[in-house]
Every structure is written in C-alpha cells, then in structure tokens.
Chains A and B, each alone.
Chain A
Amino acid sequence: MASPQRLWRRCVATDCLFEEILDDVVVFDPSTGETHFATQLPALILAELDTTPRSVAALIERLAGPTRLEQAAEQQILDALSRLEAAELVESEPSEPD
C-alpha cells in the first residue's frame, strides 16, 4: 500500500511511450521492452514523474496545481502509485525525517 510519507520516482531515466486507446492508456517501457495497460490516472502520474524523488504532495501539485484535493482523490493517487510500483514502473523510498 502506498504511503503519503514516501518519496516516489520513475524506475529508469528512459521515458515511457504512451498510446491512448479509448479510455485506456497503453504504456511501453523501452528499457525493458514490456507493455503495460493502464487507466488515465496511473498513466498521467507516470508521465509526470521522472527520476527525481518527489513526495505525494509535490506530485499532486504537479498534477492539479495549487488545488487542494479531497481525501478520496488523494487515495486514488496513492492506489495508482501502488499499482505502478507493482508493475516496476515507479519505486519509492522513505522521506528524510525533518
């Protein structure tokens, strides 16, 4: 389960390729040759992340701007990060304590 306290980044520097098919997004990872099938939100997150570790809050700001999201929406983002991590497209690390 993704945690809002962790930092998230893409696994490799190579950009993934995206093709939209109706409401779904097909993702091709050139570094592995693997193809993944995603819905819009995980694909959007993957496109926004790079190899710089980012907090969930920073990611949300990149996705939605300064808008404050409802908890349900934030949970959807965390769920999407979990799925991307399971697909080995993103990885997480503990954030440094203050």
Chain B
Amino acid sequence: MQNQKLILDAGPFRVGVRSCDAAFLDTLSYFYRDSVCDDGPHVLDYDIEILRPRSLRRWIRPQIQFEIDGIRPFDPHPAENAFPMYEWGLNWCIATSAHRYMMLHAGTVAFGDLAMILPGTPGSGKSTLSAALNLRGGARLLSDEFGLLRPDLMDLVAMPRGIPLKNASIDAIIEFDSAAPLGPTYPKTRKGKVRHLRPDAASLARQGIPAVPRWLVFPKYQAGVQEELKSLNKTEAFRQLAFNCFNYKLLGETAFRAVAQIVRQVDCYTFTFSNLDRAVTQLKALAQVSGTQKADRE
C-alpha cells in the first residue's frame, strides 16, 4: 500500500500523519475523520510518520516505528499497536515541546465554557472520569491527559482526542454506557490492555473554544468506597496542582503565578470514588449548583 498522508487538527496543533499501514489509517479515520483538514498548504506543528522498519521485522513478527521530523525517539512496537503508539507518541511530542502552554497532568472537561480540572497521577481515574463525564455528564471533553493552560489568558484550550482506557477501566466504561464508541482492543501494549474512547462530535466541533477554570477536583479511584467530595485547602491545592504540572519548573515564574491564580479563582476539592454512575451524578450536581455562582474566593 502506498504512503498516505492526512492533516489533522488536534486542538491547537496541526498534525501531519503519514503511513502505509491500512489498519492504522482506518482507525485514525474512525477517531478523527471530523478533524481532517482539506488539501493544500499547511504549517504543521508535528510531522509524524508511522512506518514499518526496512529490516526483517517488516514481515516477521512485524513491528511499527514512530518517526517525528525524521527522528525515531522510541523503540519499535508490534505492528498491531500502531494506533496506541501514534497517540502516545503525539503526547510525547506535545509534552516535550508545547511550552507556550502550562501543561497539567489532568483530565479537563467543560460544562458550557467553565472547566473542571481533574489532576492526577496514573491510576487516579482521571481519564475514566473524564470519559464518563463526557458520555453522560453533559460535559464536553477538553482533554483526558493534558490541561493546556494559556498563562497570558488564563484559559484552557481544548484538545479532544481518543481517551485510552486501560485494563479494568474498559469494562467500567462499557458497564457505564453500553453504547460508548470504542475503538479496537489492543491486548498487549506496554500499559496492558488498552481501548480508546472516541471523542464525541460536539467536543470536536467546539475544540476551538477555550474554557475558564472553575473547579479543581483531585480524583482518587478506590474500589468499594462511597463517593466523597471534600473541600480542599487552597494551599494544599497549590501544592498538588504544581506537582501535577509537567512544565512547572521549566516555566518558572509564569507557572508559579498561574497556579496561584487558578487556586484563588476556583473551588478546590478532593474526590474519592468507586462507581462511575454515582461519581458523574455528584460532579454534575456540583457543576449545576455552582456553575452560575462565583467561586469561593479567598
């Protein structure tokens, strides 16, 4: 198959993707056909190729490689994992270069144009919770992985992409919404079993519209617990938000001032949850009750 090239908008980033892998291109189209740009001259933020090596691994236990601007920063992956490799590779590209944004390790969703930021380390449940809030919580998806804050405007830009659900989270989302639009299953990735949730059309259509931070909710998934939303001291919220900022040290004063302004202007909580139905109900209620009220500023 000949190399094909697609130009996609991933939020504020314009991405060129080339590949001759038919399965990968089909999956890419399933997830992002609404984000494909027309033919014509483009200035790309990232020029990516997903390609098979020229060695024997092209045919024997075939592998796939991720190439960005002619550089291959990762080891090859099994060819069947081309789509997850592309998604994680693009995350790496953004995390290592897009420092005009303050980048939070957070799920971010918006109720209208008010953003709920869900920072957390892997395993906290931020991606699964972001997915659930988007599916049935009335929230549009900004991102499941990156909170991209413009520090000069203090708003979050949207970058709705496939949400990589891992292992038990896959069944949790299916149980939550049996009609959830899920892509193929990748049983043997380096993060275990992965399946991506396609972003909804409404989130993609509004990806050019930023959202203003309004709630900061630190999620923690804990099996079997009753959901509990607790107010969080703003100094502790600063500490945790700075910890969950990819480029806090790199941005220096800019990030310091921005984190302080966020915690001052939003309501801050911790949220322990085990059940997605109850979790979405509680967070949706929070947004409905306080969405039109000013935050409890200091």
Could you tell me which A residues sit within 8 Å of B by CB distance?
Answer: 17, 19, 21-22, 24, 26, 28, 30, 33, 35, 37
In this complex, what residue of A is CB-closest to B260?
A: A19
**Complex alpha-carbon distance, A33 and B257, angstroms:** 13
A1 vs B235: C-alpha distance in the bound complex, in angstroms? 27
Q: Which residue of B lies closest to A37 (CB)?
A: B235
14 additional contacts, CB 8 Å, given A21-B235, A22-B233? A17-B257, A19-B257, A21-B264, A22-B298, A24-B235, A28-B252, A28-B253, A30-B252, A30-B253, A33-B252, A35-B256, A37-B235, A37-B238, A37-B239
Chain A residues near B234 (CB-CB < 8 A): 21-22
B263 CB within 8 Å of chain A: yes
The answer, yes or no, to whether B129 is at the interface (CB within 8 Å) is no
Is residue B204 contacting chain A, with contact meaning CB distance below 8 A?
A: no
- Residue contacts A-B, CB under 8 angstroms, 24 given: A17-B253, A17-B256, A17-B257, A19-B256, A19-B257, A19-B260, A21-B260, A21-B263, A21-B264, A22-B233, A22-B234, A22-B298, A24-B235, A26-B235, A26-B260, A28-B252, A28-B253, A28-B256, A30-B252, A30-B253, A35-B242, A35-B248, A37-B238, A37-B239
Q: Are A21 and B238 in contact (CB under 8 A)?
A: yes
Q: How far is the CA of A24 from the CA of B298 in the complex (A)?
A: 11
Q: What total of chain B residues lie within 8 Å of the partner, measured CB to CB?
A: 16
**A17, B264: Cα distance in complex, Å:** 17
A24 to B235, CA, bound (A): 7
Does B188 reach chain A (CB closer than 8 Å)? Answer: no
Chain A residue contacts of B58, Cβ below 8 A: none
User: How close is B80's CB to chain A, nearest CB, in angstroms?
Assistant: 42
**Could you say which residues of chain A place their CB within 8 Å of the CB of B264?**
21
Assembled-state Cα–Cα distance A22/B238 (Å): 11
Which residues of chain A are within 8 angstroms of B239 by Cβ–Cβ distance? 37
B37 to chain A, nearest CB (A): 38
Q: Is the interface of B mostly helix, strand, loop or mixed?
A: helix
Shortest Cβ gap from A31 to chain B (Å): 10
Question: Footprint of A on B, CB under 8 Å?
Answer: 233-235, 238-239, 242, 248-249, 252-253, 256-257, 260, 263-264, 298
Chain B residues within an 8 Å CB radius of A37: 235, 238-239
Could you tell me the distance between the alpha carbons of A22 and B239 in the complex, rounded to whole angstroms?
Answer: 14
A35 to B238 Cα, complex, angstroms: 10
Q: How far is the CA of A37 from the CA of B263 in the complex (A)?
A: 14
Q: Who on chain A is nearest to B250 by CB?
A: A33
Q: Nearest 4 pairs between A and B by C-beta?
A: A19-B260, A28-B256, A24-B235, A33-B249
Bound form: Cα–Cα A33–B233 in Å: 24
Q: What residues of chain B lie closer than 8 Å to A24, measured between beta carbons? A: 235
Closest to A32 in B: B249
Query: Whole-angstrom distance from the CB of B38 to the nearest CB of chain A?
Result: 44
Tell me, rounded to whole Å, the shortest Cβ–Cβ distance linking B82 to chain A: 38
Which residue on B lies nearest to A25, using beta carbons? B235
Q: Give the complex CA separation of A52 and B90 in angstroms.
A: 50
Which residues of the partner chain A approach B298 to less than 8 Å between Cβ atoms?
21-22
Alpha-carbon gap, A21 to B238, bound state (A): 9
Q: Which residue of A lies closest to B248 (CB)?
A: A35
